[in-house]
Every structure is written in structure tokens, then in C-alpha cells.
Structure 1
């Protein structure tokens, strides 16, 4: 069976059935693993951490499939879980580190540059730096709209923010990214 052709309703039905939960999880993973991996990877910055967080996401989904109420799409629910897990991972990581103000090795741009799985040419590097400099809310809206091509309506449901506020956040984020990219071109 092609997992991409499997409906979300069928996957949920399997997940909620104790006798078929593992089959449902396998189908869910085949259908959404790659999208969720890249979402998490953008947030945590490296392959190993992204895989660890992704594993936690699927464990949480497996354990709490009954709590999905269907008020949003399945991917929206998975997206929220993945985002929360990645943010939790980053908070734990931040608490473990002792920060110094001049330590530049903590940033996403540096992690991408040092990651052997990532081919960091100049344009990608500049974009990663620009996105890293955005305030958290603007960064999240920018990534949802630019990378995930999520509609403002879906973002509004996911983040609990009005469509107008999301459009404004995205507009400001785009301006800041453009300014940073222009500044790096003149260097």
C-alpha cells in the first residue's frame, strides 16, 4: 500500500486501534516523516538532533493518538507537536549551556556551516543568518510561510493569532531578511 495515498482518517483509525496501532504508526511515519524532519531540522540545526526530536514526536503521537480531536488537519496537529518538541529541545539545550555574550558558536548559521550534511554556499548561509536574527514570532511565521508554504488561515489556527497579525509579522520579517541580504552582498 502506498503510504502517501493512505488517508489521514485511515491512519488515525489504525493508530487508535490497539491491534493495529503499530501499522498506523508505520504508515504515519512513511507519509509525514520527511516533512517533519525538515521542519525540525530547520529549528534545531543539525541532523542528529533533528532525528532525536523526530523520534520523540512519533512516540508522543503514538501515545496520544486518542487526544487528536479532528478540529484541524492531521498534519497541522503533527506540526504543532513537532514544533513544541523542537522548542522544548532547544530550551533544554540552552539551559545546559553556559552562555557568554561573545560566543558565536551557538547560532543556527554556525551549526549549518559546520554540519557535514549541509552544503552551505554563500546564499544559503546569508539566508540562515538573516532568519536567525529575526525575533522568535517573526521567524516562526517566516518559516511557516516561506519554507512550508502554509496559508495564513492554517497558521492562524496553529498559532492562535489573527490573520492580519500574521501578515504583518511576515511582512516585517521579509523586510528584515531583505535588509540583511543586501548588507551581506555589499560586504
Structure 2
């Protein structure tokens, strides 16, 4: 397995760029897919956003200053692409982002790529109701196990603020799941 610094060096070298990019996609495609999927919910939309994310990574690798990890930098691009995509989709439909999230979750049951049960569907409904920042922090911590320190680097937010966001998100989700 090649190190990130070696991979970045190869990506920035025109002679090794194509091969290094294939390796990068192979290494990170699944992780980025699931991160994007938790944000945009729909499988086909996720594929579109993932493709846009990798295009942006390819075009901007020379601007990567290696002040953060390669994954953190790519993750930030994926977050931005996901949010941009959802905002554009909501605007096209003439609804706000919360309404869009709720409609996407409502369609999840019919999605052939969703293999969850009723409890997982209810959890997704609860997450859809969270404010954007809380949703992002909850998904990163709960589903992906990203530490607050890593999140701080990715989201450029203090650890304390991230812990507070996660705590509020958990409380809101618990309330949603226990109300009848």
C-alpha cells in the first residue's frame, strides 16, 4: 500500500498522474461513496456527486498544500459537492433543503439499493430533520467513526463545537425515535 504523501507526489507528476489517480479512486471510492450517500441519500445522485468529487480532486490536486491529510482534503471536497448538489436540487424543485431531505428519505423505502429495516428508515427520517451541521457531524461520528480531532481538521471547527453539535443531534434523534 502506497502512502498518501507518495500518492500525492505521483498525482502531481504528469508522468505518473493517471496511474496514481486510478489508485486513489480504488483506495477511497467506497469511503467517499458512503459519506456522500449519507448526505444526498439517493444512490444515483450519490454516483453523480462522487464523480464530480473525483473530477474536482483530479483538477485541483496541484493546489493541495498537504496541510491536512489527503483524505481530509478529499472529504471536504465531497462535503462541499454534496451540499452544492442538494441546494441546486432543492432550488430546481422550489423547496427548502429540509423538505428535500424529508422527500429523499420518504423515497428510501422504494430504493433498491437501500437494504435497511424499519428502524434504519426511522433513524434516517430523524437525521433528515437535523440542521445541516448537526447532520454532518452526526454522520461523521456515528457512521464513520471519525474522531472529533479529525472532524475539526475537515470542517475547520473547534472540537468543543463539534462535541456540542453531536450531543444536540443525538438528543434530537432520541426525541424523534421515542415520540409516539
* TM-score interval (norm. to shorter): over 0.9
Is 2:44 the counterpart of 1:52?
Answer: no
Is 2:105 the counterpart of 1:109?
Answer: yes
Cα distance in 2, alignment partners of residues 156 and 22 from structure 1: 31
Q: Considering fraction of residues, name the structure with more helix.
A: 2
4+ runs of 1 displaced by more than 2 Å? 103-108
Q: Who is 1:8 aligned against?
A: 4
Q: CA RMSD in A?
A: 1.7
Cα distance in 1, alignment partners of residues 156 and 101 from structure 2: 33
Q: Who is 1:23 aligned against?
A: 19
Cα distance in 2, alignment partners of residues 98 and 106 from structure 1: 14
Give the Å deviation of 1:99.
3.1
Call closer, same or farther: CA 1:136–1:21 in 2, change over 3 Å: same
Aligned residues: 178
Q: Would you say the 8 A contact 1:108–1:129 is kept in 2?
A: no
Give the Å deviation of 1:105.
8.6
Greater Cα offset, 89-98 or 72-81: 89-98
SS of alignment partner, residue 179 of structure 1: helix
Normalising by the residue count of structure 1, what TM-score does the alignment of the two structures yield?
A: 0.89
Call closer, same or farther: CA 1:104–1:144 in 2, change over 3 Å: closer
Call closer, same or farther: CA 1:40–1:105 in 2, change over 3 Å: closer
- Per-residue CA shift, 1:12-66, capped at 9, x if unaligned? 1111111111101100000000000011111111111111111111111111111
Q: Who is 1:85 aligned against?
A: 81
Cα distance in 2, alignment partners of residues 105 and 160 from structure 1: 24
What does residue range 59-138 of structure 1 map to in structure 2 within 5 Å?
59-99=55-95, 107-138=103-134
Cα distance in 1, alignment partners of residues 34 and 136 from structure 2: 14
Q: Who is 2:177 aligned against?
A: 181
Q: Would you say the 8 A contact 2:102–2:125 is kept in 1?
A: no
Call closer, same or farther: CA 1:13–1:147 in 2, change over 3 Å: same
Is 2:140 the counterpart of 1:144?
Answer: yes
SS of alignment partner, residue 156 of structure 1: helix
Normalising by the residue count of structure 2, what TM-score does the alignment of the two structures yield?
A: 0.93
